[in-house]
Chain A
Amino acid sequence: MNQGNSEEKKLSSFKRGNVNFDLLRPEGGIVRIEKAEEGDSSAYIKKSKRGQFDKNRKSNPVGIFYIASWIFMAFSSSVFIVFMIISDGGILWLATLPVAISVLLWSLVMLALIVARPR
């Protein structure tokens, strides 16, 4: 039963959305929620959407160094894998393959997230 409860807790906490998506936020300083005037439904929809996203917190978007380091990781891991294939080295090189593939895929996922963020 304990395990079932913990699974349910995990699910409910995930549903609440406690994942920090700060890295996906648009660049710029603090964006405050502006209350829409009554009757202006189009403005309300736009501003409330932006407001839900920011919640008056200080914007902490990813910098150029952050993006460059992910690009570097993706590039270096792919070069490492190609080098591993070309060099025809020892058996133990094969043991590093999971690390190299994980780094490559993870950095590509992060780059895709960063590129797809709203600007």
Chain B
Amino acid sequence: MLMSGLLTKKNLSDWDLRNEMNKVNVRWAVFLFTILYLYSLYFTGSRGFAELFEDFNFRFISLTAATVIVCNFIYNLILIRLKNKDQYIHPSMKYASMIFDLFIVTLLLIPTGGRESMFFLLYIVVMLSNGMRYGMRLAVIGILIFNIFYVLFLLYQFYPSLEIKGMNSEILKVIGVWVVGLYIGYLSRRFQILQNDVDKYRNLLKKHLENASSESNQN
């Protein structure tokens, strides 16, 4: 899309495919650091940034790691196959991968300190990664899904009590993610407009250079 300045289906698909392959690599990197940190917490028995819960055990870490490895590996294979066969990627894939990322982050929060877990920051990483690549629409959908997941997570942690102490800090955290997400979407849109302008001038320059060269050849 951004390369040629044309909104054709092929260009959109290529843009999505390239971004998704990049996201897969970023996911491997973040996953590696996270899982190493979790195993180190488990084996050293240290407290970490927040108090660890009873759910935090070897089985949880291994199951989460296995889920991410299998899903990311299969997704990577699908993307490579699409690229090699020069096929289109479905537009819903980017939404699915973003929802998967948000789900895994929510899963990580449960045993690693609940609402005090440091892995809350990974939500912002997911927002940044998707919002910068795809723009405002995906950023807004991402924030909405994050909001739903976070409410469900808090309900899971505190049920049957619906009222918790320090709820205002939770609301401020969620508002913070909203502001970050919307701002990223806005910046991405500005970047796209600038990129389109640059492409337009590049095409104009190319056209004039071609005209000039053909004229000089005729002379």
List A residues 78-119 near B (Cβ within 8 Å): 81, 84-95, 97-98, 101, 105
Cβ contacts under 8 Å, A81 to chain B: 175
Chain A hits for B8, CB < 8 A: 4
Interface assignment of B168: CB less than 8 Å from any CB of chain A:
yes
Nearest-Cβ distance from residue B6 to partner chain A, whole angstroms = 11
Q: Pick from A3, A86, A94, A101: contact of B9, CB below 8 A.
A: A3
Binds A, one of B36-44, B72-80, B146-154: B146-154
Tell me whether B49 is interfacial, beta carbon within 8 Å. no
* Interface bin, chain B: 20 to 34
- Once bound together, how far apart are the Cα atoms of A95 and B154, in whole Å? 11
If the complex has contacts A3-B9, A4-B8, A7-B7, are A94 and B154 also in contact, measured as CB distance less than 8 A?
A: yes
Contacting A94 at CB < 8 Å: which of B7, B166, B174, B182? B174
Residue in contact with B162 in the complex, picked from A4, A91, A105, CB distance below 8 Å = A91
Whether A95 touches B178, Cβ cut-off 8 Å, given contacts A85-B172, A90-B162, is no
Interface of B is mostly: helix
Least CB separation from B9: chain A residue: A4
- Contact flags (1/0) for B158-178 with A, using CB distance below 8 Å? 100011111110111011001
Whether B193 is near chain A, meaning CB under 8 Å from some CB there, is no
What is the bound-complex CA distance between A97 and B144, given in angstroms? 10
Q: Would you call A19 an interface residue if the criterion is a C-beta within 8 Å of the partner chain's C-beta atoms?
A: no
- Asked if A84 contacts B171 (CB within 8 A), the reply is yes
Measured between alpha carbons, how far is A93 from B8 in the docked complex, in Å? 43
Q: Are A97 and B147 in contact (CB under 8 A)?
A: yes
Chain A residues within an 8 Å CB radius of B178: 97, 101
Assess whether B174 is in contact with A88, with CB atoms less than 8 Å apart. no
Q: List 21 A-B contacts (CB under 8 A).
A: A3-B9, A4-B8, A11-B7, A81-B175, A86-B168, A88-B165, A88-B168, A89-B167, A90-B164, A91-B154, A91-B158, A91-B162, A91-B167, A91-B170, A92-B151, A94-B147, A94-B171, A95-B151, A98-B143, A98-B144, A105-B182
Given pairs A90-B162, A101-B175, 18 additional interface contacts (CB within 8 A): A3-B9, A4-B8, A81-B175, A88-B168, A89-B167, A91-B151, A91-B164, A91-B167, A91-B170, A93-B167, A94-B147, A94-B151, A95-B148, A97-B147, A97-B171, A97-B174, A97-B175, A98-B144
